A = this chain, B = another copy of it.
Amino acid sequence: MSLERFSLNQATVRYASLPEAVRVTVDAGIPSIGLWREPVAEFGLRASAKLVAASGLRVSTLCRGGFFTHQDGPARAAALDENRRAIEEAAALGAPALVLVVGGLPEGSRDLVGARARVVDALAVLAPDAAAAGVVLAIEALHPMYVSDRAVVSTLGQALDIAEQFAATEVGVVVDTFHVWWDPDLAAQVARAGRGGRIASYQVCDWVTPIATDPLLSRGYPGTGHIDFASFTRLVVEAGYLGAIEMEIFRQEVWDDEPAAVARHAAATFEQFVAPSLP
């Protein structure tokens, strides 16, 4: 069945509660879901884990940890504690990976090199917790337009340079089409990620222009933008990735639509643009 590898990331139905997100995902015939910490917390961690397990859905990832680029001090300590909680939550929910958005430049800082070094430092602190919990820390390279405010990790190659300092069971990477499709080194880096067993998640959504006024919301369903999902997905297949393929769309019109309709449309675009390139 062509939705076998598909997972709906909960952010795509942002205004749905956890039970509603689970229900529309099941109803659309989607076998897997990517969860977010906030709606899980709202419904309760134990209740969420129970509900999802009873639904029969697999959990592909938990979003998200990270935001740990601070200099030494209370903010950094708090961020590390928050990440430890996120790791525990991922384990409780049965998510094999915790997605990390590493954080941007600290307020007032212009030191990208230093912020990047602190990402490695934070992972060194957290990796043993992740290993103990059986959760992979999945570094997500974000599009370079978010470098100052959200993620100082901007390319797949850079994410791998960091991940490879740790065991593949501890630190991996997310391959998100929206963030990395522009990269002239994409094919080589996806292959490298596959060889090392580092692909913790493959996420699909399109790059839609003009860029939205809030650039976070410039994503769209596959087929509505500029990305060639067939050739991109072939790279990921050739890299040996066998896991779930999530669709995560931040877009106001999508959020304003009925969650059930969004889940069905997401499944349809997956079948049209992604599934044909799978083995």
Chain A: residues with CB nearer than 8 A to chain B? 105, 110-113, 116, 143-145, 147-149, 153-155, 157-158, 161, 181-185, 207, 209, 211, 213, 215, 225-228, 231
* Cβ 8 A contact of A143, one of B112, B144, B157, B207: B144
Residues of B within 8 A of A157 (CB): 184-185
Q: State the oligomeric state as a number of copies.
A: 2
Q: Which of A105, A112, A155 has the most CB of B within 10 A?
A: A112
| Interface of chain A, main secondary structure | loop
Q: Are the CB atoms of B211 and A183 closer together than 8 Å?
A: no
For the complex, what is the distance from the CA of A184 to the CA of B184, rounded to whole Å?
14
B184 and A226 contacting across the interface, CB-CB below 8 Å? no
12 residue pairs from A and B, CB less than 8 Å apart: A111-B228, A112-B228, A113-B231, A143-B144, A144-B183, A147-B182, A153-B184, A157-B185, A161-B184, A211-B211, A211-B215, A213-B213
* Nearest chain B residue, comparing its CB with the CB of A116: B184
A202 to chain B, nearest CB (A): 18
Shortest Cβ distance from residue A223 to the other chain B in the assembled complex, whole angstroms? 10
